Structure 1
Amino acid sequence: MSNTFSENDQIRVVSSFTDLIHTNFQGTTNASCWYRNLDGDFKEIVSKLKLKENITEVNNDDLLSLQLSEAGEMARAIILNDLRLLTDLGASPSLNLLKNYERDEELDFISTDVYSFHVDRSPIATDTFLCTYHGAASDILPNEQAVQKILVPEIREKLKALHQGPEEEFETFLNENFFDLHYQPKPNAVPINLKQGHLWRLAVDHPAQQVLPCIHRAPIENDGEYRLLLIC
């Protein structure tokens, strides 16, 4: 299989949904990619959906109500099948038409929005699934190429000043405010773009996880272009 991810130790590339969900993460591998070259006109779907808010959830009825060309119908069938596969797995996939996410501008020294490199956390064993059908795609970053923001000395000192509480409660403060989920790329870090059409499974931070969680971020959207993203 010729692709742009096969030489990377972080990523396991597979050729089916079954392999995607049954491939165990181990070592430095914390991302799996069902590598696909999708047929169909996803741009047509985006052009016919109605953006109600900056993030608009699209349900099956919304998709089925669209009058589409043959290429658009092919794209719709792929999306509906992906949603069905994940739902049958017990996941709760969401298809989102995105203009942009909300920015976190409350603090000038640390950001906790999805445009910041971060990991997902869950109290139960789960994974993050995502696929970008149209628009800019997300990035991931090898764990060794990033440092937790709360460990950056100047950021940590400012967080301590913000906390203004007992030292023994500082770590809880970082956790409760999600500061510990966010990462800063090291100098010369090289993010990996997930590109369009591939269905990804990313490791999440949870008690039973055997590997480091996958560091990822939402992309800056292309001017005048909506994203169509499946995520759960």
Structure 2
Amino acid sequence: MEPLIPVILGASLCAGFIQGFSGFGSVLVALPILLTVLDVRAAVPLVSLVALSINVVMVLRLHGHIERGSMKMLLLGSVPGMAVGAWLLEGASDSLIKGLLGAIILAMVTQSVTTTKPRAHIGKGWTLAAGFLSGCIGPVTGANGPPVIAWAARQPWGRDALRATLTFYFLLTGIGIVGIQSAQGLVSFDILKLYALALPALLGGLWAGGAACGKVNERTFRAVVLTLLGIIGLTMVWQAGKAALGAL
């Protein structure tokens, strides 16, 4: 148990920095680190609480830049998606969902990198679909970001609007995710103690990430976002493939 505390602090620091810089990615960075010292049923609710705290802080900073019309459509799609996610949490495998989602993200990143067309506002149907997929995977993995991040990367927004809209969405859906996990008995007193331990490192990472973001231009910011998306997509496909091979 000796490495438990430094690993949790390191995961929290990294999660705060990534989220402070880009507006997303905290769960996808912290979860693999936490899984080296915790099992899934402990790591997922812990990282969900960490992400929720991050988003509270960031919404207070960025609330004036939120794209509210798009936010409403995302939430409208997420509500039925969360109902499906609650059912999946009862025991259904998420490896196929991860694999398909990772492939979709990689396709969208490829299109964003190779297309010569300017970014444009995406239709309501795609917005609803992104919200629904996000709602489905959130309760199961604690990481509801990839569908919405890929959707947001195609919007013609500046970095503040992108970070603010993603953060506010993740705050609202994070409340639902933690609520579902609590109802399933995953948010125990031991998890809350680990969460309290993680808070100082988390806040330090958020401050550092926000400071770093202010030093890069819009083009560099977009490149970093697309790179993170590519890593997320590849990781999800790799995890799904590993799970499939292990089941053979």
Query: TM-score with structure 2 length normalisation?
Result: 0.24
The two structures have a TM-score, normalised by structure 1, of 0.25
Bigger fraction of residues in strand? 1
Q: Which has the larger radius of gyration?
A: 1
